[in-house]
Structure 1
Amino acid sequence: MEIRVGPVAVNYMEHGSGRPVLVLHGAGVDHHETEACFEPMFDGVAGLKRIYLDLPGMGRTIAPETLRSADDVLDTLLSFANEVTGGNAHLLIGHSAGAYYAQAMAARRATQVAGLALVCPLLPGLRDVPEHRVIAGSEEIGDDDFRSYFVIHTPEMLERYERYVAPAAALVDQAALERIGARWALTPDHTPPYAGPTLVVAGRLDSTVGYAAAADLVDHYPHASVAVVDDAGHALPHEQPDLLRALLAEWLARVERSLRV
């Protein structure tokens, strides 16, 4: 599916019906990774329309020359959200760079966001990022990208990487990502912190963004549950799906309770 917002034709996929849930992937991949990771976690959950989109410059969403900064991407995402939700209350889930944008979207449209979930979020002020290390499996399987992304090196994880992650590399517009990345810092927003039900999940072994900055968010969001998961890196949604599903289920229950108040 495709919808045009300003100069950008955003490619996306929908599943189910009901309250919209926008799911944003990280850098260098496309919606197939988040779809593969999160869609099984919504199995048996009724009343939610899951929307997986390709961020500009990735997948099949082309980033025109007019997109020159993270602020431009954020404007596109806010317009996309308005189009696909009709301005109604929706949920936001982001992984990595997708969480960076989801956090900003919730801050700017707090009254329209019913819940916010940030998984291995890219955040300003990253610190104490650990060195990469493998905790299970062979260090000899897969390519360099697989070995630096996953901390669990098993045939199952390699199959997921080759099926849902690696194919997106051929679709990445590297020039667009470099252009946007040169101005990756979003303009500071001085609105109060998002006050809705929030979930933050980080991998203790995440050698891409670490976990320290994510853990700090427990003091930023007034209604946040924060989990730092051992035996997981930046590929946490692949490596710890059962635990992430349980955390998302608890978050969804909090969202429903807040909507009934």
Structure 2
Amino acid sequence: MRTTEDTLHHVEFGRGVPVLMVHGFTVDHRLMLPLESAFTDRSGWRRVYVDLPGSGRSPRLPAPVTADRTAAALMTFIDEVIGREPFAIVGISFGGQLVRHVVAELGAQVMGMCLLAPVVAPVGRRELPARQVLDRDDELLAALDPADRAVFSDIAVWQTAAGWAAFRDHVLPGLRAHHRDDARELAAAYMLSATPETRFTTHDGPHLLVTGRQDHMVGWRDQLALLEHYPRMTYAVLDGCGHNVHLDQPEQVNALLRSWLDALEAESAVDRALRAGR
């Protein structure tokens, strides 16, 4: 594991082709760490988990804090830490909006993109399913700290011991670490000024989009509009998943992620063979 002090805080695992992991709103890179399971027994990938500005251990942005300025900070980070080599990228929720911006900015340098429950439409214009709780342990909830119980109950579809353990380990640390004033400011300018897909026609390469059937925060229907811009995108809507799809159904999400990595590796092998034959 490596860290760098002079840029956005991040941690890295492995060596090889970079794959950048971008978390969502008011959390930090720890939300993404369960995805490490997809890289078990797989070499050749340098996983870079970043804390966005004002999150985790990263420095704050100067005011004003907006989606556009957060995206610009992420682009600077990519330039500093990844440079001009090809890389893959994964984004969840608000991070899913940011990684689409990266695709619009860098084009073919991005080998492929994985979106987990990405933000597509602004609040108030989203097509959302009804709120559902699939299982609830009232005794567990009663034993939690009231503040923790409130944030957990607000998002979790599995309000059980297993659901709480995943939330406690991967969501709650970031919720406690983010800068709340910055979050309030960002919430008022949460959407990018230009939808990324309006800046290009299509982006080739293997892409993956996973949403939750019970995601009452960003939904799963609005994301269908992305498919026309990514002709090789696999789209899965998983039952038994709320907004944190990879925590609710980790085996299914990691299986899809492994298949996506297989496709990226195959694509790279074809490219190398074609270049060698020139």
Letter in 1 for 2:16: G
1:114 aligns with 2:123: no
Letter in 2 for 1:91: A
CA distance in 2 between counterparts of 1:200 and 1:212 reads 12
**Map of 2:50 onto structure 1:** 53
**Matched residues, percent identical?**
29
Corresponding residue pairs, total:
256
Instruction: State whether residues 89 and 114 of structure 2, in contact with CA within 8 Å, keep that contact through their aligned partners in structure 1.
Output: yes
**Stretches (4+) displaced over 3 A:** 139-142
1:163 aligns with 2:162: no
**Map of 1:242 onto structure 2:** 251
Normalised by the length of structure 2, the TM-score is 0.87
Deviations 1:80-103 (A, max 9, x none): 112211210001001111111011
What is the root-mean-square deviation in Å for CA atoms of aligned residues? 1.7
- Indicate the larger mover: 188-197 or 238-247: 188-197
Within the candidate set 188, 210, 221, 1:182 is matched to 188
CA distance in 2 between counterparts of 1:67 and 1:40 reads 37
Deviations 1:14-53 (A, max 9, x none): 0011000100111111111211x21112111110010101
Per-residue deviation, 1:68: 2.7
Q: Secondary structure at the match of 1:115?
A: strand
**Map of 1:101 onto structure 2:** 98
Deviations 1:44-73 (A, max 9, x none): 111001010111111111213245321111
Instruction: State whether residues 149 and 233 of structure 1, in contact with CA within 8 Å, keep that contact through their aligned partners in structure 2.
Output: yes
Higher helix share: 2
Normalised by the length of structure 1, the TM-score is 0.92
Per-residue deviation, 1:140: 5.5
CA distance in 1 between counterparts of 2:70 and 2:202 reads 21
CA distance in 2 between counterparts of 1:184 and 1:33 reads 19
**Map of 1:29 onto structure 2:** 27
Instruction: State whether residues 29 and 59 of structure 1, in contact with CA within 8 Å, keep that contact through their aligned partners in structure 2.
Output: yes
CA distance in 2 between counterparts of 1:110 and 1:67 reads 28
Deviations 1:237-258 (A, max 9, x none): 1111111111111111221222
CA distance in 2 between counterparts of 1:211 and 1:124 reads 11
Q: Secondary structure at the match of 1:141?
A: helix
**Map of 2:146 onto structure 1:** none
Instruction: State whether residues 107 and 193 of structure 1, in contact with CA within 8 Å, keep that contact through their aligned partners in structure 2.
Output: no
Within the candidate set 199, 206, 221, 2:208 is matched to 199
- Indicate the larger mover: 19-28 or 215-224: 215-224
Q: How does 1:60-79 map to 2 (within 5 A)?
A: 60-79=57-76
**Cα 1:116–1:139, aligned 2, differ >3 Å: closer, same or farther?**
farther
Q: Secondary structure at the match of 2:151?
A: helix
Letter in 2 for 1:127: R
**Map of 2:275 onto structure 1:** none
CA distance in 1 between counterparts of 2:100 and 2:205 reads 12
Q: Secondary structure at the match of 1:2?
A: coil
Higher strand share: 1
